Structure 1
Amino acid sequence: MTASVGEKSPSAWASVTPMLLFSCFCLLVGDVLFGYDTASFGGILANPTIGKFVGCLIAGPSIERFGHCAVFVALSIISIISVIIEITAADDGVGTGRCAQFIVGRIIVYASVGLVEVDVTTYQSEIVPPALRGFVVISLQLFLNLGSIIAVGLNKAFSTYTSGLGWKIITAIQFVFPVFIIMFSFLIPHSPRWLLSKDRKEEALAALKRLRPKADAENDNRPSLRLTYQTVFYKENGYAEQAFTYPVILYCLHTLVVIPAMYLIGYMGRRNLLLASFSLQAFWMMILAGIGSKAQNTAPENNLVVASLMLFSVSYNGGGAAIPYLLGTELPNAALREQTQTLGATWNVVWAFVTNYVIPYMIANLKFGTGWVFGGISISALVFTFFFLPETKGLALEDIDKIFETRFNPFRHERSALADPEHRVKELTGETDIDHKGKAYSGIQDDKPVTSHI
């Protein structure tokens, strides 16, 4: 419920139930699949991003029509089919596999990855309390890195195998993830917001009661509800002996940095954490490019180059990797949320393809000068974030719409960013306490005031 002026708001964790936690995190096994698949084959075969492009493109319309749970089941079936195609493409003898069939399997599995990327994040953003949305949604990076750790460990274990047995085993493990997703899809409720968009109000209330404490639900009058180039980089620049060891270390660091980031986003906010992430990314890329480009380097300087690449990647995972997924789910209004996330994920696929295609050539020709390019991109992202991205920490999805009714001023933002969410909305829109009371949600209202936050 919306706290009155002067009343202390209850802790966000007071609205957390076992079913809400389960619904938020059980399907992140899909992100484990994403990280596992990408890290398993990133160094063997270029990612067939056309599959992910298609998956992202159809995710929004599919979720809007059939709901998140139905899409979870569909993407799992697609993933199982793709794994079967990949495994049956292999023979034990060298050069006896069917490469074309394997590529088809890779394309299909990436269609399921694209669906995962959109479906999981939009579902999470619609069911969690506003104060916990950042913590929950950016957790995808934690599970993606977990999948990557498993994959690079297995890649290292089977790197000396000359037969097809090694990658048959690595591929077959992917059966586990979609099977779990199918099981979980039948145990979790539909998004109350999605049910409301289909005028299924009683079902929406029932879903809300499953997700939130009984008192919260009963008080509602109307519920308103990457980095595969690293191995190439190490080999091209004199670190071939550690080309498979460094990624294992790096993915472990990725996982460790995401855990504090999941907490920091609730305190620092999306904007400040992104500014810190982009600043550090730019700093480490400049160090890498400046020292690495010297004609001759000492052993400590060579170690600093490796450390700079790792710290750049850690800085990226600490903010820039996951927060855009969160923003893609909370900045658009309800009518455009899935479509916007679909568009963003699709563009992500396009640029991921371009990046993966050009990076080997950049490394081969620019060597350490590649750092200037990515450092410049980080600086551009830093400038854009400062001037154009408002803070959305703690705001209900429906309240975020009001931020965009006035022109964003980054300097005024700095003065109001630490104010409580309700005060920030009123300050930005010019509403009085009386005007704002009972109007937390503009998407679904009747003649009775809506007083609840979900």
Structure 2
Amino acid sequence: MGFKGDWKQATPYLGFCVFTFCWTNVIFGLDTSTFGSLQALPSWLNQFGTNGSLTTLQKALANSIVYVGRLAGTVTFEPIAERYGYKVLLAAIATVQVVSVIIQLASGNFNTFIAGRTISYVAVGWIDGTISSYASEIAPAALRGFFSGLLAPMANLASVWGAGMCQHYATETQKVGWMVPIGIQLIPVVMIAICWPFTVESPRWLLSHDRDDQALAALKKLRRKDDVDAGLCEVELEAIAYAIQYDKTHATARWRDLFTSTAYKQTIYTILFFFFYPSTGNAFYNAYGTTFFKSLGLGNAAFTYAILCQLLGAIGGTTGLLLTDRVGRRPLLIIGSALLVLFDGLAAGLASKSVRTTTDNNVVVACWMLMLWSAKLSWATHAYIVVPEMGGIRMRKKLVMVGTTVDVLGNWLWGFAAPYIQLADATKGPKIGYLFMGFAGMALIFAIFFAPELKGRSLEEVDELFQKFRWGWEYKGYKTTGVGAAVAQAEHGELANTKEVADVAEVDEKNVPGTQVQVNLV
């Protein structure tokens, strides 16, 4: 259809709904950036540190125990979303965040403050799955990458915001220096509260819960007026309805099905996507970026460099988001991984010198900036694009849950272990970058040989694509023929009526004998 044709499928209301849900990731972006800098702010250290600083154990706990809350949110996301829908989850996220901020502002000691952050991370665990799943379900196939990936630049821009606030209070010693950055985290909640009543539930979710009329009404709000008038919404929903019924007949969506002969590939790929996301340097920077710069002797300039790093990360995430539906997922993953190998290794090598010049320090900082840019261009953005795509219809929420659980465990591991890893001679201080370079090399191999290209595919096509093993470059040229192809054609406006959907269904039934699926939507 072409770039312009693809974007003609977008509507202001579609953008509004996705944007409202993506606002929740501002919560995560503000928290990670703010707390990464709080650990170097005198106002926060005077209140919560030990003699004006954090012990190694406090650093480890502060940057890891919060992931207990995130894990709780991750493992409860799928059952809550399946039963109550995405809008209920959005309201729950906002409510939990209010409670968390109140506890943090009222806290008088280190343990209470960390408990408040841990509660916030329950909401973060829900956010991980809610945004990507909701966006992937309501967006047309041609624009799914852009809308599913919007959560990354929202978090990146929020990180710039958080780093900027902390830079302003770099020399403040009173409580206001840490209370303002924490209190600002209520702003996303206000935005969500204003916009929430005007969003719609996912038509796919409504259809799967036998609320056909509401599903059609929601889809008509999301699609172009020309498509609504032409009856294409009925066609698209008919194809989706058949796909849902077909999947319920042929698959059970049990947890053990993640390891069947056809689904295990998606499971393994999901684990790897969310393993490489935090393990190439991203998680370490989020937790210790500002304090790391201070350890290099950069003083209060570390706060300025933190802003620039987050800004480069935001640019990288936005670049990936704008390009993913044009050039595809694989090229960006490959390029980003190759650059991560380069910048992680270069930063580690220069920063490990016993005597560094000002030029050396500047290059190290530049490498960290470009590392963050490369991570956001590739794994940080595409983990939340590709994994929801790989899940098809019924396994999508479970795969997202698996992926975000791996992400939580990875962030917890790096947050807790990094202070201790840096005590060993082989990975002392900046030498930890060599570890990130090794993982980036593994990510590059995976991206070249195995990462699937799912640009422009409907969610319903995915199961057919993964029926047998394919090399990463083989996905792009494969032509699907089953019900997934019908949904893809409907989303592109290439099916004229529901009879054509029925024709595809008839062909699909012949391929899988002994199954009768009846769908009478329109």
Which band: TM-score by shorter chain?
0.7 to 0.9
How many angstroms apart in 2 are the aligned matches of 1:279 and 1:403? 27
Say if 2:13 is the partner of 1:22.
no
Q: 2:325 aligns with which of 266, 284, 288?
A: 266
After TM superposition, give the deviation of residue 9 of structure 1 in Å.
Answer: 10
CA contact (8 A) 1:28 1:143 kept: yes
Counterpart position of 2:127? 116
- Paired position in structure 1 for 2:52: none
- Say if 1:76 and 1:181, in contact at 8 Å, map to a contact too: yes
Shift in CA distance, 171/23, structure 1 to aligned 2, threshold 3 Å? same
Q: Distance in 2 between matches of 1:298 and 1:81?
A: 47
Distance 2:469 2:109 in 1: 57
Q: Does 1:83 align with 2:101?
A: yes
Q: Pick from 225, 229, 244: which aligns with 2:303? A: 244
Cα distance, 1:337–1:298 mapped onto 2, change above 3 Å: same
Q: Does 1:368 align with 2:427?
A: no
1:53 matched residue in structure 2:
71
Which whole-Å CA distance do the structure 2 matches of 1:436 and 1:333 have between them?
9
Greater shift, 313-322 or 287-296, is seen at 287-296
Contact 1:440 1:451 in 2 (8 A): no
Call closer, same or farther: CA 1:436–1:374 in 2, change over 3 Å: closer
Correspondent of 1:40 among 26, 31, 34: 34
Give 1:451 shift.
9.1
The answer on 1:336 being equivalent to 2:350 is: no
Q: Using the alignment, how far apart are the partners of 1:109 and 1:209 within structure 2?
A: 35
1:23 Cα offset (Å): 0.8
Q: Which ranges of structure 1 fall in alignment gaps of 5 or more residues?
A: 90-96
Q: Provide the rounded CA distance (Å) in 2 between the counterparts of 1:395 and 1:18.
A: 23
Q: Is the 8 A contact 1:274 1:320 kept in 2?
A: yes
> Paired residues, what number?
423
Q: Distance between the aligned counterparts of 2:457 and 2:17, measured in 1?
A: 21
* Cα distance in structure 2, aligned partners of 1:251 and 1:291: 21
Determine the structure 2 residue equivalent to 1:388: 450
- Matched residue, 1:140: 151
Which residue, 355, 377, 386 being the options, matches 1:327? 386
Q: Partner of 1:321: helix, strand, or coil?
A: helix
Percent of residue pairs bearing the same amino acid type: 31
1:160 aligns with: 171
Q: Is the 8 A contact 1:124 1:137 kept in 2?
A: yes
What are the superposed Cα offsets for residues 340-369 of structure 1, whole Å, 9 maximum, x if unpaired? Answer: 111211111111010111222333442232
1:270/1:323 contact within 8 Å kept: yes
1:23-63 alpha-carbon deviations (Å, 9 max, x no partner): 11122211111100111123434351111111111111111
1:267-306 pair list within 5 angstroms = 267-306=326-365
- Output the CA distance in 2 between the equivalents of 1:77 and 1:66: 16
Q: Is the 8 A contact 2:460 2:487 kept in 1?
A: no
Determine if the alignment matches structure 1 residue 194 to structure 2 residue 248: no
Write out per-residue CA displacement over residues 247-295 of structure 1, whole angstroms, 9 at most, x where no aligned residue.
0111111222222222211122111111111110011112122333334
Range 260-269 or range 213-222, more displaced: 213-222
Distance 2:321 2:378 in 1: 9
- Aligned match for 1:185, one of 196, 209, 214: 196
Letter in 1 for 2:63: A
Aligned-pair CA distance for 1:437:
6.9
Inter-partner Cα distance in structure 2 for 1:196 and 1:143 = 29
Does 2:289 align with 1:230?
yes
Q: What does 1:59-78 correspond to in 2, within 5 Å?
A: 59-78=77-96
SS in 1 for 2:479: helix
CA distance in 1, matches of 2:459, 2:4: 18
Q: Does 1:425 align with 2:442?
A: no
The 8 Å contact of residues 344 and 437 in structure 2, kept in 1 or not, is answered as yes
Match of 1:449 in 2: 501
Cα separation, partners in 2 of 1:295 and 1:37, compared to 1, 3 Å: closer
Distance 1:162 1:438 in 2: 62
Matches within 5 A, 1:82-101: 82-89=100-107, 97-101=108-112
Q: C-alpha distance in 1, partners of 2:421/2:289?
A: 13
Q: Secondary structure at the match of 2:235?
A: coil
2:235 is the alignment partner of 1:221 = yes
| C-alpha deviation, 1:381, in angstroms | 1.1
Whole-angstrom CA distance in 2 between matches of 1:130 and 1:301: 46
TM-score by length of 2: 0.76
Matching residue's letter, 2:479: V
Letter paired with 1:221: V
User: How many angstroms does 1:105 deviate by?
Assistant: 1.3
Match of 1:203 in 2: 214
1:237 Cα deviation from its structure 2 partner: 2.4
1:354 and 2:413 matched? yes
- Aligned in 2, Cα 1:391/1:451: closer, same or farther, shift over 3 Å? farther
Superposition RMSD in Å:
2.6
